[in-house]
Amino acid sequence: MRRERRWAVAAWAWFGLVLALVVGLNAYLLRILPFTSEIFLQTGLVYLGVGALIASRRPANPIGWLFLISGTFVSLPLFTLAEVLRSESGSAGSLAAWSQLVANFSIVPAVFPTLFAVLLFPSGRIPGPRWRGVVGVGVLIMAVITTAVLLAPDAASFDAAAADAIPNPVSPFHGAAAANFEAFVGRLESVFPWLILAFALACAVAPLVRYRSASATERAQIRWLPFAGSLFAVGLVLGVVIGFDHPVAGTVWWIGQLSIPVAVAVAILRHRVFDIDVIIRRSLQYGLLSAILAGIYAGSVLVVQVVLEPIVGGADSPPVVVVTTLALAALFNPLRVRVQRFIDRRFYRRKVSAERALARFAAFARDEVDLEALRQALFGTVGETLQPECMGLWLKPAPSRHPNGESR
């Protein structure tokens, strides 16, 4: 218990120290530049807080510590700090060079710990011995990128915002050797993006592979991650299609980014972990319902613009708005019931079958008085709905009576 308390203190001390650095650096930078890294700050702090929570409650699980590492380097505005120091001291300044080097180095610990966390989710161990090769590939990629960052002659080569070259203070390459090293790094850049993509896909597939042989509790834990990943994918697609500056796309993208660490925390700490089935069901239900209502609204607006515009005067007129709102309100509950039935039949057929079996048993037991028939019906219903390995029924024996009528 004392050892776990020490780990908890260490995790929250890490969180407090990084939070103080984030506040201090942003307070310094806000006097010079406008605040432009809200999404990185919010995402980094959420990862940092979730990592501290998991590490304090489950110190033996490395996922919490991996989130702490990733959240630290995502939340710290290192590239913005490098830009400010570059503008103040010039590209040739040693402080600007060191800050740029640290910012470049932060790319690896900001991204790869999250990928390893997905690979190890939820138990903190790889799915099997064959996955050691995937871990080795990830470690190799990290080592190569870190080496390229530390030895690159131009410290600004990894920062698109840097216009001028910045000499790397730790690079041993100069002149012709520097040109040869940059050519070698250029050849690696044509291969490594595909290798990183393959590693990321392998990490994403790992929970699905683990799901096949997982227990019921572990399966409920794993289901949280694809749900959060689907929110992230929807936000990404919306951002690419209509732009991340759009209010809807920006909100969904923000929710998608923050849903992954939150889902991991709920799954690992097992707080209401089995509620994921209800959440997925409700998300499908109300997502499809919203799409149908949006289509009805768009269709009504189109009808007004094409057919009824000479009469009502356009789609923004008060009568049209009132009628459309009342129509959507009247259609909401019937559509919700129909959508729920469709989703239950399509995705939760076992649940629907169980409900029907219980209803049949209730109707049978209401009028049946034969104990043996009730026992057979009960066994059949339990076997159909729960599918247990074995079943047994214990009946309390009827109390025996004395000849004088007293029970004993």
Tokens representing 238?
Answer: 């919306």
**pLDDT at residue 98, rounded to an integer:** 79
**pLDDT at residue 139, rounded to an integer:** 92
35-40, long-range: CB < 8 A, 24+ apart: 36/80, 37/77, 37/80, 39/254, 39/257, 40/74, 40/75, 40/77
Tokens representing 226?
Answer: 């694809």
Q: Give CA–CA dist 204/34, Å, rounded.
A: 36
Contacts of 256 (CB under 8 A, 6+ apart): 228, 231, 232, 233, 234, 235, 236
Q: How far is CA 96 from CA 52, 61, 83, in A?
A: 32, 38, 8
Q: Give CA–CA dist 329/49, Å, rounded.
A: 41
For 25-64, what is each residue's pLDDT tens digit? 888 777 776 655 667 778 888 899 999 989 988 888 899 9
Residue 122: is the preceding peptide bond cis (ω within 30°)?
yes
Query: In the chain, where are the structural domains located?
Result: 2-276, 282-347, 351-385
**pLDDT at residue 68, rounded to an integer:** 93
Contacts of 138 (CB under 8 A, 6+ apart): 112, 115, 116, 119, 199, 203
The model's pTM: 0.68
Q: Give CA–CA dist 11/62, Å, rounded.
A: 12
Q: Give strand pairing partners of 167.
A: 154
Split the chain (408 residues) into runs of 10 and give each run's mean pLDDT: 81 91 82 66 86 89 92 84 69 69 84 91 87 91 86 67 66 76 78 87 89 81 82 80 77 83 84 59 64 70 61 58 69 72 61 68 75 77 68 71 54
Tokens representing 405?
Answer: 């009528």
What sign results for the dihedral spanned by CA atoms 88, 93, 96, 99? Answer: negative
